[in-house]
């Protein structure tokens, strides 16, 4: 999948359309390709937006996921 070299939020999915990561990036293309070295995923979804908006949107989407599923996506670690 050819991703844009733009800012935005992205979603990584494993087989079965299981969402495993929600992230933000200044370059969707570069950041998602960095994940290929450390995570196993089969599909990427994304939304382009200004990076300052992506920072807020990422947090909101993770909170929504946690409220619906009772846990963070598999690779979204919180300390």
Which pLDDT score, from 0 to 100, does residue 25 have?
Answer: 98
Is there a domain that residue 26 lies in?
Answer: yes
Is there a domain that residue 34 lies in?
Answer: yes
**Distance (Å, whole) CA 19 – CA 59:** 15
Is there a domain that residue 19 lies in?
Answer: yes
Is there a domain that residue 79 lies in?
Answer: no
Q: What is the pTM of this model?
A: 0.92
Question: Number of folded domains in the chain?
Answer: 1
Give the residue-averaged pLDDT of 65-75. Answer: 96
Q: Quote the domain boundaries for residue 53.
A: 8-69
Adjacency order of strands within the sheet including 8-14: 18-25, 8-14, 43-48
Is there a domain that residue 45 lies in?
Answer: yes
Q: What are the pLDDT digits (tens) for 45-63?
A: 999 999 999 999 999 999 9
Point out which residues pair with 11 in neighbouring strands: 22, 45
Which pLDDT score, from 0 to 100, does residue 4 have?
Answer: 96
Is there a domain that residue 27 lies in?
Answer: yes
Is there a domain that residue 1 lies in?
Answer: no
């Amino acid at each position: 999948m050819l991703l844009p070299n733009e800012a935005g939020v992205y979603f990584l999915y494993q087989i079965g359309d299981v969402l495993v990561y929600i992230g933000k990036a200044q370059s969707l293309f570069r950041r998602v390709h960095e994940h290929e070295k450390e995570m196993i995923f089969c599909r990427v979804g994304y939304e382009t937006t200004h990076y300052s908006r992506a920072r807020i949107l990422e947090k909101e989407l993770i909170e929504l996921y946690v409220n619906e599923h009772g846990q963070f996506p598999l690779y979204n670690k919180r300390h």
